[in-house]
Every structure is written in C-alpha cells, then in structure tokens.
A and B are shown apart, each in its own frame.
Chain A
Amino acid sequence: MALFKKKNDGAALNSVLVRRPIQKCFPIFLLPTFIAFCIGFLYPFAKGLFLSFCNFKTTSKWTWAGLGNYVKAFADESFLHAFWYTAGFALVSLLIINILAFTVAYLLTKGIKGSNIFRTVFFMPNLIGGIVLGYIWSMIFDGILSRYNTSILLNSTYGFWGLIILMAWQQIGYMMIIYIAGLQAVPGDMLEAAKIDGASEWKTLWNIIIPNVMPSITICTFLTLTNSFKLYDQNLALTNGRPYNGAIHTTEMLALNIVNSNTLKTKGVGQAKAVMFFVLVAIIGILQMKSTHDKEVQQ
C-alpha cells in the first residue's frame, strides 16, 4: 500500500513541467473536494472532538465538562466489555475470513470449470447492506433456533458465531477477489522453476506463493480488521447487544456501545468514547500495516 512504502517521494521526482500547471489549477482540482471535506468531515469532526469535553443535549447547547466524560467512559464496564468482545471478534473473523477466502481463491485459480460463475456468486453478498444482512440472517438463525425453543437473542455464544457467519458470508467474496488478483500476479517462471525442482505443492505454496501474495494479505487483513472494529449495522440488526446481563450487553461491539450510550444525559460520554474508539482504530491500522509491511519488505 502506497501510504506506508518508504516514500520514494513522487513529488520530488515530478518535473516542474507537470507540477506547475497543475498547481495553478488548484480551484478546479483540489478546492471542490477540499470544501466538501471540510463540511462533511473536518468541521463535524473538530466539533465532535470539542463536544467530547462537554455535556450537551444538542450540539448547540453545551456546557464545558473537561475530562469528566473520559473518566466516566473508562469507569463504564459495558464499554470495557465491548472492547474485549470486539477485539475477540476481530481476531476470529480475521482468521476465518482470510483463511477461507485464500483457500477459495487458491482453488479457483487452479483452472477448474465454472471458476467465473463461482467467483460471481461468492462476491454477490457484498452488495447487500448491513441492516438488510442483519434482517436476513436473523430470520435464518431464528428459523433454525426456534425449533430448539431458543433464539439468537438469548444466547451470547449463538450471537457471536451468528455474527461471524454473517460477516464471513458477506466478506469472503471480496477478499477472495483480492487474493485471486494476488495469486495471478505470482511470477510464472518462479512456479515453473519450483516445479522443475520437484517441490511439493505445499512447499510451493509456503515458500513461493504466500510470500508473493503478501501485499494482498496486507490489504485483506487491514480491511477485515477495520471492518470488524467499525462494525455497526450488522451488529445492530442481528442482536443489538442481546442478551443483556445487567448493565453489560453481552454481544455489543464498540460502535454500538457508543451509540447506545448516547442517552440525553450521557451524550458527552458517548462522544468521548467515540474519540477513544477512533484513536484505537487508527493505532491498530497503523501497527498492523507496519508489521505486515515489514514482512513484505523482507521478501
């Protein structure tokens, strides 16, 4: 990923010939996006950051509260529970989705009949939105579980694996496409050489293919990890945190916990949680990219 590659600094290489005229067209090229970005992101974000230090009912009625909201957020056991739950979910879904997606991609690039059709089918669930996905799968899970007089809302184990199944169904196709692209980019002569040397299929996979698809693995792990951490719609529509155990919503993930803590008295706390949440997502993203990228460089 371009961002973290050691900057070969394209800009420095750019000749003045190209740069100067573009720079003059700033109002056409950059300004529209920049203005929209300020309206749609920067200002609301800054205001949100500010409000995390306030008590407020609406954004225009606030009183300064200092760090009080952050203290309250840390004291909130449901927030801590949501954090660990989300971390566990992210890890499990990361492994399952990537292993399955890679396996499918690997088998589909072996030139079997109907590969294209299978690819089309596996990618399809990606197009369905989170709320709708939640509705579809809660219908299916409850259709099965109601025979045993239970429901996905009643057992946190079902809730956890239900969400994993849902996310796997949705995301495997997308990750598979990325892995297929990566696998197709593996240099043919390297594979040929391995074959001539009589390397077994496993050895070829471990020593040649996987190191060569490392960029795809970087992207896919980044995507699955951030998707899990930011997950909201699916979590809301499938279990909405049920079952509850006192103040703890056993299947509630971070994003949902934030929204659920936005009662009128505690909007500031929700906002403070949101700030901590995005700092966390940012740190995870950077660490993960750095670590996978280091492996990439060594190859």
Chain B
Amino acid sequence: MHSRIPLFVVSLFLFASVLCDAQTATCTNWTFFNTRWPNSNHAARGINRWGTVVGNTHNAGTSLYPAFVRYPTGILNTYFAPNASATFFARRNSQGVTVGWYTDNASPIAHNHGLVVSGSSMVTVDYPGASDTFLQGINRWALSSALTMTLAPSWKRHLY
C-alpha cells in the first residue's frame, strides 16, 4: 500500500505539469525583422488580416521618430507627419487604412494629434476640447477607438 503513495504523487505532478503546459501558447512561423534602422527603440503595434504590420521606430543617435508600414513581402516604408517630432502608427484595417498619432513641435508643451492615413492621404483628428488625441484602433467599418486628454489632465476614451 505504501508503495502506491509515491506513484500517486508522481502522477499528480505529471498532471499538474500538463496543466501548466496548457497555459503556454503554441507559436510557430516566427519572423523577426528590423526596421530601416536596426538596434533602435521600436514597436510593432498592429497586424492586419493580410499580415501588414504597423508601428513606430527610432533612428538611434538622431531625433528621428517615424512610423512604419511593413508588408508581408518585407518591404518597409517609413512615414513622418508634417511638423511632427514623432509619428506613431497603431493599427491598420483590412482595407489598408492606418490610424495612429503624432507629437507636434509646439513649445513649451508639445501635443499629440490623431492620424488617419489612407494611401497618400494623411488626415489629422483632434477631439473637440481635448489637448491630445491618440487614435489607437480601427475596424473594417472605419470606426476608430481613441484616447484623448484634456489639460487637466483627464484621460477619456472615445469611439468615432
């Protein structure tokens, strides 16, 4: 009878191990890439259904902070919003419309403005009454989720 106790303990340990493994995702098809400037501070914030990735990067040693679009073919394009010190792309929908925000060059306090980019068109979105607007999501119907800030500061979330 005593000999069954260790067997039970081992079985329990194995069962627990299986449960732990079940809490780790199985990930395959890893593709690693750098932006135009390697070893930089960057983010891959969104991926649409076609595998196009959007985000932001930084040219280390400079003050350049562009946004980027990377296509599944590996082609990567960078973007600077006009009069921006930094540009960020957050999401891109299945129709290829990209949203994000940029930080302006205003002094002494810079502000952030929402961005909608479609093809060669770039439109700024500022929520009425807010000092800062960040467009963070977009779906196929072009509904955008956004974060805004007033000078208080008080953060609010909005749906456009």
Bind each other? no
